[in-house]
Amino acid sequence: VLCWTITVDKPLHVVDGDTFDVQAEIWLDGLARQERIRVLNIDTPERGQPGFDAATAFTSSWLAKGAFLITTCFRDRGGRALGIVYRDGDILADKLKEAGHQKK
């Protein structure tokens, strides 16, 4: 299992409330590449579902507040890195839940 933690200044693109893209330099090979991150422990509304825009805007705003960390050890079937996203003791998944953005 390859686990890694990186610090990211800003995302490249926010797909939805629980998925975004970053430019990452993975220590194993030292190459910078785009990674799609799926936030662990939260499931937000998908495109076309009620709450999609609000959850996506929340995540965009949270990520834009400054550098954040991503810790991941796993990938899903689609190749996305499944990660815990956090900054200064705040975990993005928890903040999304507190704000009511968890899929019903």
- Reported as a single tens digit per residue, the pLDDT across 31-75 is 778 899 999 999 999 999 999 999 999 999 999 999 999 999 999
Structure tokens at 48: 């076309």
pTM score: 0.92
Cα–Cα distance between 102 and 94 in angstroms, integer?
10
Structure confidence at residue 52 (pLDDT):
98
Task: Report in angstroms the alpha-carbon separations of 38 from 67, 93.
Answer: 17, 10
Using the predicted structure, report yes or no on whether residue 30 has a pLDDT greater than 70: no
- Tell me the pLDDT band of 11, cut-offs 50, 70 and 90: very high
Mean pLDDT of 84-93: 97
